[in-house]
Amino acid sequence: MQPLKGIKVLDLSRLLPGPLASLVLADLGAEVDKIEDTSGGDYLRVMPPQVHGGQAEPTSSAFLALNRNKRSAIIDLKNPAGKEALLRLVRRYDVVLEQFRPGVLAKLGLSHDTLRAENPRLVVCALTGYGQDGPLAQRAGHDLNYLARGGVLGFQGPADGPPTVPGFQLADVSGGLYAVIGIMGALMERARTGQGSVVDVAMIETAMPFAIAGFGMLFGGHTTDRGNEPLGGGLAPYATYTTKDGRAMSLASLEPKFWLTFCAGVGIEADMSDLAPGPHQAVLKEKLRGIFAERTRDEWVQFASTRDCCLEPVLSPEEARADAHLAARKMFFDMPSPWGTIAQMRTPLTPADRVHAPPPQRGEHTDAILREAGYDDAAVAALRASGAIK
């Protein structure tokens, strides 16, 4: 399945959010060309840990995980000749994905309006922390800031201290995924009207729907009790517990039938009040801590294999790579590359049988991309001599 075959994307983004968006687009068949700057390109390339194998320069394994099925060109957008090259390129593309602060491209003479004047069918997706306007539009931020300012972190426990820092980049990833949604919606609109558009994606806003149920309760007059909400640590049947061998299990027996099955399996009496918030949850949690401490994690996995009660082991990321279910779903795979064989992870929409192109070396396709835009050998050489490309 390559529903985006024939769609050409010019990706000016770097690090995680934008490259994740273009990874999904590329895996779905779009032709994605990364435009990297002359001072080092996407600086995720140099972050540890780096892969040192093969014939390519050492490169971050995170960069390699995010940039398969893409090409790379190095163009200095601050150089007048580089700017003109980009304007010439956009005439051939369907989408430009950019992740600069609002106004940065305009200062380079490459505003959204300027790009769309070159190609009225162009979809420009601007992915930023706080959006193209508003009081915080120019503020710097990272994932944790977006979760905090958007109220999402405020739903998270513990109750007796500041919220726990998540072990993953929720706003960055949701920003990339909403960028994909916005781009595909704009392409559908273009198919209807013949006109491109500007898609404004703010990561702070993309994180907030993860807490839409909590906000919905808030709209109804509910006062948030951080760390004690039913799905935020307040219910004993919806929590994690340490096992006899110091590992962990996740129990999510929210519905009566699952809770009854669990209780019958461990030999305790179930009460429907167990599924309702209240002071009694502290007593039930302590009881369950004792029960889980009686068996190892492997024993609990065996217990769960014969009882349908929403009980699963807490796997480490290393263990997840070897998990039988994820292996059956082909979530992880190896691929050849200039760095040798590298590990990759599918996105949920990546066709399992897709034949992938390896991530690009920095500037590997500069000449090819420019020639496709009509530059001949002499013009490419002149751009290189001027320092506009590498």
Q: What is the pLDDT of residues 130-180, one digit of tens each?
A: 999 999 999 999 999 999 999 999 999 999 999 999 999 999 999 999 999
Average pLDDT over residues 273-286: 96
Non-local (6+) Cβ contacts of 250 within 8 A are 239, 240, 311, 312, 313, 314
Which has the minimum average pLDDT: 261-270, 294-303, 347-356, 359-368? 347-356
The alpha-carbon radius of gyration of the chain (Å, integer) is: 25
Q: What is the pLDDT of residue 213?
A: 95
Q: What is the pLDDT of residue 352?
A: 85
Does the pLDDT of residue 55 top 90, yes or no? no
Does the pLDDT of residue 376 top 90, yes or no? yes
**Percent of the chain scoring above 70 in pLDDT:** 100
Eight-class DSSP state of 98:
E
Does the pLDDT of residue 1 top 80, yes or no? no
> Is-catalytic flag, 142?
yes
Q: What angle do CA 366, 368, 371 make, to 5 degrees?
A: 110
Looking at per-residue pLDDT, the higher value among 55 and 303 belongs to 303
Q: What is the pLDDT of residue 343?
A: 97
Q: What is the pLDDT of residue 74?
A: 98
So where are the chain's domains? Answer: 8-209+330-386, 248-313
Average pLDDT over residues 201-217: 97
Eight-class DSSP state of 230:
I
CA distance 106 to 9: 20
Does the pLDDT of residue 40 top 90, yes or no? no
Does the pLDDT of residue 194 top 80, yes or no? yes
Q: Which of 52, 113, 133, 142 is catalytic?
A: 142
**Mean pLDDT score of the chain, rounded to an integer?**
97
* Fold for the domain defined by 8-209+330-386: Rossmann fold (3.40.50)
Q: Which of 42, 143, 172, 274 is catalytic?
A: 172
Structure tokens at 170: 């929720």
